[in-house]
Amino acid sequence: MNEIHPPVWPSGQPPRRLAFIAAPNPGAHRTLESLTARYGQHTPQEADAVICLGGDGFMLEILHMMLGQTTPVYGINCGSVGFLMNPAIPDDLPMHLTQTQAATLHPLRMTAQKSSGEIIEALALNDVFLFRETRQAAKIQIEVDDRVRMPELICDGVLVSTPAGSTAYNLSAHGPIVPLSANLLPLTPISAFRPRRWRGALLPSAARVRLTILEPEKRPVAAVADFTEVRDVVSVEIAEDRAIQTTLLFDPGQSLSERILAEQFTV
């Protein structure tokens, strides 16, 4: 996951075909009406850029929708949390887009096997995490690149985060914030009981992680990849999928790399 250069539109001119997508809240819909009246409306498939109106949760939905497509996404904050969003509506939106900075995001691919034997795959732009389903703590074995690194972690759960997602659940679980250019994936325990002092690890972005559930009948565990939850898993494999990407646009001086860096100095 790496920062890229400011986008260059194929025509060499400001993008004119814009697709506006609004979250289901009154503020976002008022902004939608105002912007479509001024700039028109196109489908995401025919647009030069997709404009997301909402908060971080809605932006994550739109980024999933745009995975594998070359059309960039620009967010305008009309929600409560706006780490992935830009704060204000520009006076001349098409011209403003030519000045934005872009980040290319690659998702994590989760391959989860259920106790029934069923295999479920899902993509995550934030994180993949496991958590206990009952009062019993989970017991999880951790392998990295086919080598057992931790035979048994007793915990509420464990997560693998992308750099972009390192400021979300990973940070709340006391995991490290990772710059985009670092090409690292935080592996962070959630309320570790044994080994109690283990704080997790930083893995190369090319690492393949396998999490095996120990005593799955007694200590059932669920796995989540962004919006996809899988109950009663017995093993989960996680790896970055660099064949798939999406592009996110930020205002000048407010790139995703800058925001991640600034977050580390927030008190």
- Amino acid 1: pLDDT: 44
d(CA 54, CA 77): 5
71 with 183, same domain: the answer is no
Instruction: Give pLDDT, residue 186.
Output: 97
Task: Tell me the CB-side half-sphere exposure of residue 258, using CA atoms within 13 A.
Answer: 9
SS3 category, 92: coil
Average confidence (pLDDT) per 10 residues, the chain, 267 residues: 56 85 94 95 95 93 93 91 84 91 93 98 97 97 98 98 92 90 93 93 96 97 97 98 93 81 79
Give the pLDDT of residue 219: 97
- Annotated binding-site residues for NAD(+) read 56-57, 126-127, 156, 164, 167-172
**In a shared domain, residues 135 and 203:** yes
Residues 139 and 85 both lie in one domain: no
Query: What CATH number is attached to the domain comprising 23?
Result: 3.40.50.10330
- 124 plus 232 within the same structural domain: yes
Q: Which domain holds residue 14?
A: 2-105+245-263
* C-alpha to C-alpha distances, 255 to 5, 30, 163, 205, 216, nearest whole angstrom: 11, 27, 14, 21, 42
Both 91 and 117 in one domain: the answer is no
In this structure, what CATH number is given to the domain that contains residue 224? Answer: 2.60.200.30
Q: Is 56 a catalytic residue?
A: yes
> Are 180 and 252 members of one domain?
no
What is the structure's pLDDT at 106?
94
Residue 87 CB contacts under 8 Å (≥ 6 apart), including other chains: 77, 251
Residues 168 and 118 in one domain: yes
The side-by-side arrangement of strands in the sheet containing 2-4 is 2-4, 101-105, 246-250, 73-77, 49-54, 18-22
Among the listed residues 56, 232, 241, 251, the single catalytic one is 56
H/E element, 35: helix 26-39
Q: Which two tokens stand for residue 142?
A: 């951790």
Do 228 and 252 fall within a single domain?
A: no
- 158 and 233 fall within a common domain: yes
- 115 & 99 share domain: no
pLDDT of residue 79: 79
Is residue 180 domain-shared with residue 152, that is, in the same domain? yes
| Same domain membership, residue 131 and residue 67 | no
Domains held by the chain: number:
2
